[in-house]
Structure 1
C-alpha cells in the first residue's frame, strides 16, 4: 500500500485562503451589498466602488499566483517586510478616498493625514528591517546556510491582507451609501369637498439613522395679491419649480405663507418612514399650498442653520439636536387650490 503524501504547509495555507474568501463574500452579504445596493453604489460612487473592486482583484491575483507557483519556490526573506507593509498601507488609500460621512471636513483631513503618516512610517520601518536583514543575509558565505522563505506562503499572506483591506473598503463604502442616500419622498393630493379641499400628504423615506426623522410642514398662501404675485415673483425665464422652492414660503423676510400643519415622523427599527398628513383647506382662503418634507439629521454635515421665519423644529435625543439644514435633503410639492365656484374668475 502506498501512503498518501502528507499535507504541506502551502496546502493548508491555500485551503485557509479559500475559507477566507468565503468569509469575505459573507461579510459583503452582512453589510447589505446585494444587487440593489450594488446598483446604488455603482450609480452614486463608481470611483470608490472601483477602488474596492481593484483591491479585491489584487487579492484574487495574489491567490491565483499562489496556486500556480510550485510549492517550495524559494524567495529571499528580506523582501517580505516591505511587501507586507505595502499591502497594509493600502488601508490609508481607503481612509483618504472613502470618507466617513459622519466626520466633519476638518476631521476627514486629519484622519487621512494620520493614516498616510502611519502607512509611511510602517513602510519605512519595514524597509529598514529589510535592509538590515539583507546585510545579515549576505554575510552568510555559505549559500546552503542562507535561509529562504516559501514564495507561496508570502503570496497567500498578501492575499489575506489585501482581502482584509478590500473588506474594510467595502464596509466604509456601504456606511457612506447608507448615510448619504437617504432622501425623503413626498406626494400631495386634494379632493374637492364642498367649500373645502381635503388635502392628503404622504411622506416616505428609507435608510434613516437612529435619531434622525422626517419633518413635514404644510403652508398656505392666502388670496392676497399685495403680498404674493406668482408672475412677479417668478418671471420668465426662471424655472417655476426652482423659483417656488427657493423664494416662496422659505423667504427670509415677509413670507406670505401661513402654517397649516407641522409634523415629525420617526423611522422604524429598519430606518423606514411612512406617514400621512390629512387636513381640510378652505378654497376661499388660500390659493396655493406649499408642502415640504426634509430629513432632520442627528449628525448633520454642517453647523446649525440660520434662523428662518418657518417654525423651528429642533429635536433632541440623548441631549443632541438634529437640524434641518436649508435646502439639504428636501422634497417639496406646490399645489394650486381650486376655487369653490369653478365658474368664478381667478383672483
Structure 2
C-alpha cells in the first residue's frame, strides 16, 4: 500500500466568522492510499482551536509511513486500532488516514461504504446550510443567496436575537443555532425562550466546553434541546454528555475518523441522545465520508464544500439539503 499526502488551501466564498475567529481560507490535508489499482481518499482540515495544522499532520503521518504502507488485508477496525497508539496525540491526522482506508477497503470489496456497513438510505436527514456571523444585512444576504430548508446560524454577538428575528422575516426554513461556546448559563436559558418563538429547532454548544455544571443547569431549564460539540470530542466524551446534553455532534476529525465515529453514534443511541455529525469546512472528500453515516443520524451539518469558492473533488452532491451519492464505490470521491 502506498501513502500519498497532499496539502491544499481551500478558498471560501465568503469570510467565515464564528464567535471566536474569522477565516477566508481553510488549510486541508488530503490522504490517498493506493493498492492494487484502487485509491482511497481521506481529509482533515486544520483548526486553531484544537491546535492542529496541516504541516504537523503530515509530519505525524510521515513518522509512521512504514507501518501504514506495510499493512496487508486488515479490516478498517483493526487498522485503526493498530495506528491509534501512534496518532492518539493527532486525531485529525488519524481521521484523514482512517477515512482513506475505509474508502479503499470498500472499493476493493466492490461496494459503497454505507452498503458495506449494511445501512439503508431511505430516511437520510437533510443537511443544513451555515450562515456565519456578519452584519445583520450581510447575514440576510448570505441566506437569500442560497434558499435552503434548514439553516445553521452562527451566533455569539450582542445582537443575537435581533439577527434571528430579522432572518425569520425572510424565510420559513428551520433554524438551528450554534453559539460556539459564546454564551453564559442565564443567557442561554433566556435566549432559548426567545429563539423557540422564532422557530429554532435546537441550540448547539452554547457554553464553554468544560463548564459541566453550567451544561447541567442549561439541560434542566432550557426550553430548546442542547447539542454538544466542543464538549464531545472523543469516544469517552459521549457518556459524559448524558444528562448534560440532549444530543451530540460527532466531528470525525476530532474523534479520529469514521471508525470511532460509528462507535460514538451507537453509544449515543444507547444513551438516548440525539445523533448528529458536523463538518469542519472540508472539501467534497470529507463531506462524502460524512454522507456514509447519514442513515444513523438525526441531524447533519455537511455543507462544508458548499462554502468553498472552488472544490478539489467530486463525490456526493447536495440539492436543497438532500444528499445524492456518487455512483462510484467507497465514499465515491474523485480528486480533481
Task: Judge same fold: TM > 0.5, yes or no.
Answer: no
TM-score (normalised: structure 2) = 0.21
Specify the structure having the higher radius of gyration (Cα).
Answer: 1
TM-score (normalised: structure 1) = 0.21
By percentage of residues, which structure has more helix?
A: 1
